[in-house]
Amino acid sequence: MCDISEQQVLKLDGGKLLEQVRVLGGVGADEDVGGRTRIALTDSEKAGRDLVVRWMRELDLDVQVDSIGNIFGTLRSAKGDGYQAPMMVGSHIDTVTNAGALDGCYGVLAGLAVARAYREAGVLPSRSFTVGAFTNEEGIRYQPDMMGSLVYAGGLPLQQALDTIGTDGTKLGEELSRIGYAGTMVPGSIVPHEYVELHIEQGPILEAENILIGVVENLQGISWQQITIQGNANHAGTTPTHLRHDAGWVASAIATFVRDLAANSGGTTLATVGCMRFEPNVINVIPRRATLTVDLRDPDESRLQAAEKALADFLVDVAEKEGVKVSTEQLVRFSPVVFDADLANEIEASAKRFGFSNRRMTSGAGHDAQMIARIAPSAMIFVPSRGGISHNPREHTDDDQLVMGAEVLLDVVKRRLECASR
Ligand code: HGY
Ligand code: MN
Ligand code: MN
């Protein structure tokens, strides 16, 4: 094992981490329903970005912004070898609507806490250490999700991302310029040596098993599609059922179908209809048009494909029966990802050294780590989510659990960095 004597001095300031989680959690606060909303490239997200950049500068990190708006704060190594092949940690600070305070932000701020430990000990890392905050991880305004890290990893051309039109009709590149985060650095010009992302589990497993640390070995596949149904508007009171071409009923039938698909999958496939709109959306008119989104996930690629095919077959069948036209648009399609075994072993060894209960697990949610895994060895650390709740103002992890997770991150980083100096 590596000798890390000189870096034993690194101490995590858990209080500062918790304070920054709370302060960032107040940016974009939703006074009425609780929580906060910092949807990518909005003014409230800009405010969050500005705050994180200020905190990076307070740590005297070199701040760089790339052309898709990814933000990087780097603690340069003792060797002064520039920014190349850094040990990278990070996540995102954009949120869904009425979000919790931890999703993404915890991983970015824990990364700053690691940099702070080096600064306060007056120790420079053996290899540059970079904290990343990736653009548009949530993908709810501009699809796909994990967009900034996908561009960074070379999975989506920059111009295509900049040309993306949002659900609100805005163009991503124009919004990025408007908030002042259209950087100059070429995305991916700094390839990490390794990448570790600390994140809340956002699910119920760790809490249910009373376990502190999740050693995330893999991440399930994700399929997002938008479905549009074109039927005929007609009078709700005069049109017999068998003469209807009811777009609204078809949309509801699809939602029922995908729920049954998941329920009969043995617990591996998950299906969610998160958005549904009817036109003209009035009480006594049979909907002429309906749009809905379907989010399908499974850790196994062949099962995910089977779910997509079953849905496609159902759409053909229901369109014929109801006499409507159904069209689909694939918004996101990411295959399952397996993380780096050596890094996962390092995370597990660190949790064991601290005496923290731990278990190997799969990530149900998408994360930037799944994109960075395309270009560098990557892995994730989870901490418990109370009630398994996330994407909800009630998202919560106990303070001591947040600090323990960050202790593991610091321990993993310092061991990997010390090893790098050999
Ligand atoms: O959709 C996801 O899993 C992530 O929160 N973007
Ligand atoms: Mn997240
Ligand atoms: Mn999220």
Judged by its nearest atom, the ligand closest to the C-alpha of residue 146 is 1
Is residue 5 very low, low, confident or very high in pLDDT (cuts 50, 70, 90)?
low
- C-alpha of residue 260 to centroid of ligand 3, in Å: 25
Judged by its nearest atom, the ligand closest to the C-alpha of residue 108 is 2
Judged against a pLDDT cut of 90, whether residue 287 lies above it is answered with yes
User: Counting atoms of ligand 1 from 1, which one is nearest the CA of 366?
Assistant: 3
Share of the chain above pLDDT 90, in %: 92
Q: Sketch the domain layout of the chain as residue ranges.
A: 14-220+336-420, 221-334
Lowest pLDDT segment from 189-193, 317-321, 337-341, 382-386 = 189-193
163-197 tens-digit pLDDT: 999 999 999 999 999 999 999 999 999 899 999 99
- C-alpha of residue 149 to centroid of ligand 1, in Å: 13
Q: Do 221-334 and 14-220+336-420 fall under one CATH topology?
A: no
Third-level CATH fold of 221-334: Alpha-Beta Plaits (3.30.70)
- C-alpha of residue 335 to centroid of ligand 1, in Å: 14
Judged by its nearest atom, the ligand closest to the C-alpha of residue 332 is 1
Higher pLDDT, 5 or 22: 22
- C-alpha of residue 366 to centroid of ligand 1, in Å: 4
Judged against a pLDDT cut of 50, whether residue 1 lies above it is answered with no
Q: Does domain 14-220+336-420 have CATH number 3.40.630.10?
A: yes
- C-alpha of residue 289 to centroid of ligand 2, in Å: 33
- The stretch 355-375 carries a mean pLDDT of 97
Judged by its nearest atom, the ligand closest to the C-alpha of residue 92 is 2
- Residue 418: predicted pLDDT: 72
User: Counting atoms of ligand 1 from 1, which one is nearest the CA of 103?
Assistant: 5
Look at ligand 1, atom 6, and give the residue with the nearest C-alpha.
Answer: 138
192-223 tens-digit pLDDT: 999 999 999 999 999 999 999 999 999 999 99
- Residue 82: predicted pLDDT: 67
Higher pLDDT, 3 or 151: 151
Look at ligand 1, atom 1, and give the residue with the nearest C-alpha.
Answer: 366
Give the number of other CB atoms < 10 A from CB of residue 328.
Answer: 14
- Residue 2: predicted pLDDT: 39
Judged against a pLDDT cut of 50, whether residue 13 lies above it is answered with yes
- Residue 4: predicted pLDDT: 46
Residues with CB under 6 A from ligand 1: 137-139, 145, 365-366
Judged against a pLDDT cut of 70, whether residue 236 lies above it is answered with yes
- Residue 81: predicted pLDDT: 65
Share of the chain above pLDDT 70, in %: 96
What pTM, to 2 d.p., does this model score?
A: 0.91
Look at ligand 1, atom 2, and give the residue with the nearest C-alpha.
Answer: 366
Is residue 421 very low, low, confident or very high in pLDDT (cuts 50, 70, 90)?
very low
- The stretch 114-140 carries a mean pLDDT of 95
- C-alpha of residue 127 to centroid of ligand 3, in Å: 30
Q: How high is the mean pLDDT of the chain?
A: 95
- C-alpha of residue 261 to centroid of ligand 3, in Å: 24
Look at ligand 1, atom 4, and give the residue with the nearest C-alpha.
Answer: 366
- Residue 419: predicted pLDDT: 52
Judged against a pLDDT cut of 90, whether residue 319 lies above it is answered with yes
Please choose from 137, 200, 371 the residue to mutate so as to test ligand 1's pocket, defined by most ligand atoms within 8 A of CB.
137
